[in-house]
Amino acid sequence: MRRKIGTRGLGQRAVNARPRPLVRIATVAPIIALLAASLSIVASPDSASAVAPGGYTGVNPFRVIDTRVSGQGPCLAPGTIRSVVVAGIAGSGIPSDAAGVAMNVTAVGSTLPGFISAWPRGGGRPATSLLNYGGNDVTPNNSLMSVGAGGAIDFFANQGCPSLVVDVVGWFASGTGTVGGFNGVAPTRLLDTRSSGDGSCVTAPRSLAVANVAGVPVTASSVALNVTVTNSDLPGYVTLWPAGASRPNSSTVNFVAGEVRANATVSKVGALGAISIFSSGGCPHVIVDLVGWFDGGASFGVGGVAAVTPYRLLDTRSASNSEGCLRGYRAVTMAGVPGSGVPFDATAVLLNITVVSPNASGYVTAFPDLATPPTASNLNFRAGQVVANGVWVKVNSDNHRVTLFASGGCPHVVVDIVGAAVSSMQPAPAPATVTTQAVTGVKWPDVSDPAVMTEGGKYYVFGSNSNVRNIPVRTVTDLARTYTSNSWEQATSEAMPTRPSWARQNEKTLWAPTVAKLAPNFYVMYFAANRPNAPQPWNPQCIGRAYASLPQGPYTPETAPITCGIEGTGGALDP
């Protein structure tokens, strides 16, 4: 039985242990996107009935509270408890009977440094912290948490009255017994190297038993943890991984001297029911809090969470990355990547995203590729910072990708994958029905690489560039009509008035557009173009993406291509 740690708050002790200059943010509101929407409770939104008990279902990020918004305040006053409903909110995709949620919690603009604790509503406040914040700062952290009475979670701040922002990104079905199913617990401290008996600060790899302690059975496959680093005298990072395995090339928490940094993660249980902890330097104190565990076994149920040894998917600093820092949107393949251990049919992934050396303040958001960009943020940064946060994100089931978005600052981004929700028992989708119409003769003159989208009884015919247009689009109402060159030109307009900034500006070539409707008043276009100053002159072709609110445009291109093919073998053509 693990001894009980005293009830002092981590944040109170940590932030007072080594004072640091505070970097003020002139305007906090632009750094986290706002959602000024009223919340209504529903009995039970549609849920994925195929998910096994305890299984995970990802949703598009949904903001359940932002105390800066009128009607959702006030800030989290010191010493008070604020209950926040996270299940059964209309539009969130989280059913009212969800047993637990994955969420991103952000503290904004506190007048003093401190910490926030969270726990299922109705339980006692634990002697743990979810995140630690500085004065007048923006500090996020993700968490898995069991849902308490009334579908709510309780939040507590020890001082400074921070604004509270909570975004839900997924949920766990009720029930037990499924391999990979989530079992939430009241947050429990497993390790605090500041306490006598838990060892000194971390200077060398060490093991921490996580199975057969605090109610976690020896059969658990992985554990959900909150890891906090404090009182380091040098900058560095801490990595967690399964005991007995080789240390991965990844990080769990990045820190600077004197700061308190926290991050949530899921770690696979290794040899002897333990995980390993490593610090790159600085002798930081490390605090590990348990928030839940996942059932073990050989055959995962639908939605079961499988943790993997952390695997690096992306590092924009790498010489092999031709696209550079993150400008705007970028799609990244998450499922089925060789060596990652994540299956091809994963429905959601757990990532650790680290921002490195941005040149301005901003935020990063991850969401399913081709989904409507959410108003939520996953991590916030200031110029020059190194900031990490764990992110649960749903995966596009068609292309197995997640889109990353940076609001500004052109940060370098490092993405490590630590786990995934599986779906191997999901039924295959029904084949799509394609209708055709036979025509004779040339109906539409002067259309290269045509793509046709129908909307509201009209057909929108897109083609490659012409002498006068970047992406021509023609609006057609009668498929049987034969157009003359003159009448065809009259039906033509410009779909993309502004060429993408990343494409060559001294030529007209934009070709092979493909257009699809993602949501009401939200359309996406993929297209090909040549980039200037390609590393290999024979490989200039890239694929870009643009968005519009009307099917015919105008489409606004992203500031960087989504792919430029594989260097040395050829570019990316005809999406």
CB atoms within 10 A of CB 47: 16
215-252 pLDDT per residue, tens: 899 999 999 999 999 989 899 999 999 999 999 988 89
- pLDDT at residue number 44: 33
pLDDT in tens, 514-567: 999 887 778 899 999 988 887 777 778 889 999 988 899 889 888 888 888 765
Confidence of residue 444 (pLDDT cuts 50, 70, 90): low
- 567 token code pair: 């260097």
Q: Which of 14-18, 127-131, 158-162, 516-520 shows the highest mean pLDDT?
A: 158-162
β-bridge partners, 328: 406
Average pLDDT over residues 475-503: 81
Q: What is the mean pLDDT of residues 367-392?
A: 87
Distance CA 167, CA 375 (A): 9
Q: Give the count of alpha carbons within 13 A of 572, CB side only.
A: 19
Among 82-86, 281-285, 379-383, 520-524, which stretch is predicted with the lowest mean pLDDT?
A: 520-524
The pLDDT of residue 365 is 92
CA angle 384-17-207, nearest 5°?
80
Say whether the peptide bond before residue 310 is cis (omega within 30 degrees of 0): no
User: What contacts 490, CB < 8 A, 6 or more positions away?
Assistant: none
pLDDT at 21 over 50: no
Give Cα separations from 304 to 180, 214, 366, 425 (angstroms). 4, 22, 21, 11
Per-residue pLDDT at 425 exceeds 80: no
How far, in Å, CA of 398 to CA of 377, rounded? 24
> Could you read off the pLDDT of 171-201 as tens digits, one per residue?
999 887 788 889 988 899 999 999 988 888 9
Closest CA to 562 of 553, 571, 550: 571
Assess whether pLDDT exceeds 90 at residue 157.
Answer: yes
Query: What is the rounded CA–CA span in Å between residue 301 and residue 179?
Result: 6
Residue from 343, 307, 333 nearest 423 by CA: 343
**β 236-242/274-279 pair status:** antiparallel
> Measured at the alpha carbon of residue 222, what is the angle toward residues 221 and 228, in degrees to the nearest 5?
165
Average pLDDT rounded to a whole number, residues 260-288: 92
In this prediction, residue 439 carries a pLDDT of: 56
> What percentage of the chain carries pLDDT values higher than 70?
86
pLDDT confidence bin for 435, thresholds 50/70/90: low
409 has a pLDDT exceeding 50: yes
Which amino acid is located at 142 in the chain? N
C-beta of residue 222 within 8 angstroms of C-beta of residue 307 = yes
- Would you say 527 and 503 are in contact if contact means Cβ atoms under 8 Å apart? no
Q: Strands across the sheet with 556-557, in order?
A: 510-519, 522-530, 541-548, 556-557
Higher per-residue pLDDT: 47 or 473:
473
pLDDT at 445 over 90: no
CA 403 to chain centre: 8
User: To the nearest whole number, what is the mean pLDDT of the chain?
Assistant: 82
- Residue 45, classified by CB atoms within 10 Å of its CB into exposed (0-12), middle (13-18) or buried (19+), is middle
pTM for the full predicted model: 0.64
Q: Are strands 472-476 and 492-494 parallel, antiparallel or unpaired?
A: antiparallel
Strands 386-394 and 253-255, bridge-based pairing: unpaired
% of the chain surpassing 90 pLDDT: 40
Question: Which of 240-244, 301-305, 478-482, 570-574 bottoms out in mean pLDDT, i.e. has the lowest?
Answer: 570-574
Domain ranges (residues) in the chain: 10-421, 451-557
First to last CA, the chain: 58
Distance CA 574, CA 462 (A): 13
Query: Token pair of 321, please?
Result: 């990355």
Distance CA 7, CA 158 (A): 12
